[in-house]
Structure 1
Amino acid sequence: MATTQLATRSLFPNIAEFFNSFPAADLLRSNGHLIKVEEQVEDGKYVVRAELPGIDPDKDVNVTIRNGTLTINAKREQRESREGYSEFSYGEFTRSVTLPQGFVENEVKAGYRDGILTVTVPVAEAKDEGTEVKIETD
């Protein structure tokens, strides 16, 4: 006697689906989809790592700097349509971060490996910030 197993879904929605149902969730995204990033300063460089699996970096990623803001634009197209459930996001993705003071715009480098886009922005050493003057009140 053969047994058949049916795929079942939980009565409770996935936590991401739950939060995506709130209009305020759009405040966390731009153009509908959030790009998850990590950022840090290391060895005089500001490094942003963006999670972009399944993207062709040569065709589908654009990195720009304008007025001290680094913007990553990407797009993922759905190549085949299937009936069923998917948590994959398709469409356009955008994420902007403010660069630290002293960034060196013409030495920015970007690379893509294993679904992670890494953008490295050199930061010039801070120059003399001047002297502090204490102002007395009357």
Structure 2
Amino acid sequence: MSGVIEWPSGRPTLPDLFGWAEAGFPGTYGAGPHGIRIEEHMADGTYVLRAELPGIDPAKDVEITVTEDVLTLRAQRSEKTEERHRTEFRYGTFARSVRLPAGARGDEATAEYKDGVLTIAVPVPEEKPGTRTIPVRHG
């Protein structure tokens, strides 16, 4: 027994259902079939986004843009023409957009690729609310 439930003709098997669940519901912004899995956090006044991009040449296949307060990451993985029995790899163009925190300096962003993970760092200066005295004019 293989551990896979076979449904009568025309019904999905469990691996098909898991693949559908991983892709997300249509119209949602999950990693999806052509999305990029990410994690993000703030560290020492810097917004940090890490993206899983294994098997991609960052010099040729990755584009990072910032438009207003939205960071967009695009990557492409080309399919090799060798014959294979089975593949679960995903090929094509992948994209993910995230809204940057208020005050983020997208023009100062940096990116580094190591061990299949792209790390993007965007400075977010802390705005300190200061006290300001407003002079009153006397007529």
TM-score, length-normalised on structure 2?
Answer: 0.76
Contact 2:23–2:30, Cα closer than 8 Å, also in 1 = no
- After superposition, the Cα gap between the structure-2 partners of 1:65 and 1:129, relative to the gap in structure 1 and judged at 3 Å, is farther
Q: Distance in 2 between matches of 1:59 and 1:65?
A: 18
| Cα deviation, residue 17, structure 1 | 1.8
| Aligned residue in 2 for 1:16 | 18
How many residue pairs were aligned? Answer: 123
**Secondary structure at 1:80 match in 2:** coil
Contact 1:70–1:99, Cα closer than 8 Å, also in 2 = yes
| Aligned residue in 1 for 2:119 | 118
**Secondary structure at 1:111 match in 2:** strand
**Secondary structure at 2:28 match in 1:** helix
1:63 aligns with 2:57: no
- Say which is worse superposed, 10-19 or 56-65, in terms of deviation: 10-19
> Residues 58-137 of structure 1: matches in 2 within 5 Å?
58-128=59-129
| Cα deviation, residue 32, structure 1 | 4.7
| Cα deviation, residue 57, structure 1 | 0.1
Provide, for residues 63-103 of structure 1, a one-character-per-residue CA deviation record: whole Å limited to 9, x for no partner. 00002000000000011342422111000000011000111
Provide the identity percentage: 39
TM-score, length-normalised on structure 1?
Answer: 0.76
- Say which is worse superposed, 83-92 or 108-117, in terms of deviation: 83-92
| Cα deviation, residue 125, structure 1 | 1.1
Instruction: Name the aligned partner's letter for residue 71 of structure 2.
Output: L
Q: Distance in 2 between matches of 1:39 and 1:62?
A: 18
Q: Distance in 2 between matches of 1:30 and 1:40?
A: 17
Could you tell me which runs of 5 or more consecutive residues in structure 2 were left unpaired when the two chains were aligned. Answer: 6-12, 133-139
Contact 2:101–2:124, Cα closer than 8 Å, also in 1 = yes
Q: Distance in 2 between matches of 1:129 and 1:88?
A: 52
**Secondary structure at 2:107 match in 1:** helix
RMSD value, Cα: 2.6
Contact 1:26–1:32, Cα closer than 8 Å, also in 2 = no
